[in-house]
Structure 1
Amino acid sequence: MAEITLKGKRALVTGAASGIGRAIATKFAEAGAEVFVLDLKADAAEKAAAEIAAATGSTCHALAADVSDEAGVAAAFAALPGSKLDVLVNSAGIAHVGSIETTSTDDFDRLYKVNVRGTFFTMQEAVKLMAAAKSGVILNLASIAATSGLSQRFAYSMTKGAVLAMTLSVAKDCLPHGIRCNCISPARVHTPFVDGFLAKNYPGREAEMMATLAAAQPIGRMGTPAEIADLALYLCSDAASFITGVDMLIDGGYTNLR
């Protein structure tokens, strides 16, 4: 197997100031990549980039952009020195709890704007650069919600189904450009979002509900951002050079073992 490294590579990770995106950006920096931390808030991106650089010794830059804003995304990519990009990871996204009966039009549009349009805009900009170089890797964060029926996840499932479909389309269309495109579909991952959701909706019952969420995965626990980052590193490295057009489950057995 080829060495799992990103030495000499330039990687841009969206939503990289926290959660899964932060873990992926850190893992890529540890693997030798020059990392661009893109997040909605400039101060959060700058803080994350500085901390990752200090912890890993790698070069790390901060970019601020709203991924749902086409002009903002174009400007962020235009800031890349030498118009060079080897790896794009789309981790930016938002969640929503609600069925088709309780999801408002505003909720639906808000999720579509960030999770679908945001992924479209960043991939479109990345493909321009990668096609010119005849090489590159795009990795999108989908979800088991794309292929499994989950309760109270109507709008979120819609967006992740779109991410999966876009991944397959880009993988097919970009074969002549030497670009690989895959996605990762996690089950529940223990991030600050989960802690905040439980504190808000189940005050005093956080431990009980945490156990319930963990038990939903046959393996008996939620995943960790570091585990998602390990898979992301492999898929974006040359060790995975024969993998494209794949939706990679990392779900503790949720899909096949329930």
Structure 2
Amino acid sequence: MMKDLFSLEGRTALVTGGSRGIGKMIAQGFLEQGAKVYITARKAPACDQAAEELSQYGSCVSLPHDLSTVEGCEALATDLKTHEMKLDILVNNAGAAWGAEFDEYPESGWDKTMDLNVKSLFFMTQKVHGLMKAAASADTPGKVINIASIDGIKINPWETYAYQASKAAVIHLTRRMAARLIKDNICVSGIAPGAFASDMNRAARDAEDAVGKMIPAKRIGRDSDMAGAAVFLASRAGDYVVGDTLAVDGGVAYSQIGEAWG
């Protein structure tokens, strides 16, 4: 039925980096559509507080973990298994950025960004693969949603070398993971956000009007824009989307003419 196309009733989701920004927007959208949502973040107090705030929309559980290492991903998966026997939806949203001039760009910043944005995304999915296979079927596929960025599609003028490279890697990795996991009835897709107000995108957060003027849609993204895209991919509405990454950016990546935005 069309009225149930976007419902997430009875589904269980894990949103990494879910205590703030885009992850929190997605978690709220899932909750409002009926899902039970687990959120994780590195800082336990912030994760716990966010889960408490989100609980007004549905069942939200805090599972704080540091996903910057494979061991951290394993620990989160083990923790989740004490709560659930199955997982329907995984949103790989945890991420980092680092900016520095070309001649001064540090290896530490490169490794931190690449490890969390690409390596941990892959291994987090690997560690919950069994839980997702247990829930998935051809009629009700599991969903992995990788959060990339339009910076992986179109360069921006900032010297965030590892971030831009990592997000391009996420988009291609999404395709490769999709080719494998569809065999287990798990659909892998991605979202490439543009300007949304967050701690990572302080320009959009602190200069909304100025940033909005540079976007074809004439505004930055709203919480509902991100939640809507994620709910689409996570729900039955997105069951036939496999391997694609959806740009949610007000037209920056594909319709803007001229200089890279920034």
TM-score, normalised on structure 2?
A: 0.87
Partner of 1:182: 189
Alignment of structure 1 residues 31-46 onto 2, 5 Å: 31-46=33-48
Alignment of structure 1 residues 61-210 onto 2, 5 Å: 61-80=61-80, 81-134=83-136, 135-152=141-158, 153-195=160-202, 207=207, 210=208
Q: CA deviation at 1:240?
A: 1.1
CA contact (8 A) 2:68 2:112 kept: no
For the residue of structure 2 that corresponds to 1:227, the secondary structure is helix
Q: Cα distance 1:183–1:198, how it changes in 2: closer, same or farther (>3 A)?
A: closer
CA contact (8 A) 2:14 2:37 kept: yes
In 2, Cα distance between the equivalents of 1:189 and 1:214? 10
Structure 2 counterpart of 1:215, from 213, 216, 226:
213
For the residue of structure 2 that corresponds to 1:83, the secondary structure is coil
Q: CA deviation at 1:77?
A: 1.4
- Quick check: 9-18 or 101-110, which moved more? 101-110
CA contact (8 A) 1:37 1:45 kept: yes
In 2, Cα distance between the equivalents of 1:185 and 1:239? 19
For the residue of structure 2 that corresponds to 1:174, the secondary structure is helix
> Which residue identity is paired with 1:148?
K
Structure 2 counterpart of 1:243, from 241, 244, 251:
241
Q: CA deviation at 1:71?
A: 1.8
Provide the aligned length of Structure 1 versus Structure 2: 247
> Which residue identity is paired with 2:186?
I
Q: CA deviation at 1:146?
A: 0.9
CA contact (8 A) 1:164 1:247 kept: yes
Q: CA deviation at 1:36?
A: 0.3
In 1, Cα distance between the equivalents of 2:223 and 2:93? 11
In 2, Cα distance between the equivalents of 1:78 and 1:198? 36
Q: CA deviation at 1:106?
A: 1.4
CA contact (8 A) 1:213 1:222 kept: yes
Partner of 1:202: none
In 2, Cα distance between the equivalents of 1:166 and 1:35? 25
Q: CA deviation at 1:19?
A: 0.7
Gaps of 5+ in 2: 257-262
- What are the superposed Cα offsets for residues 103-126 of structure 1, whole Å, 9 maximum, x if unpaired? 221111111121112211211112
CA contact (8 A) 1:68 1:121 kept: no
Q: CA deviation at 1:192?
A: 3.7
- What are the superposed Cα offsets for residues 42-83 of structure 1, whole Å, 9 maximum, x if unpaired? 111111111111x21x22111011111222221221222243
- What are the superposed Cα offsets for residues 156-200 of structure 1, whole Å, 9 maximum, x if unpaired? 1111011111111110011210000000011111224444x689x
CA contact (8 A) 1:191 1:224 kept: no
Q: Which runs of 4+ in 1 moved over 4 A?
A: none
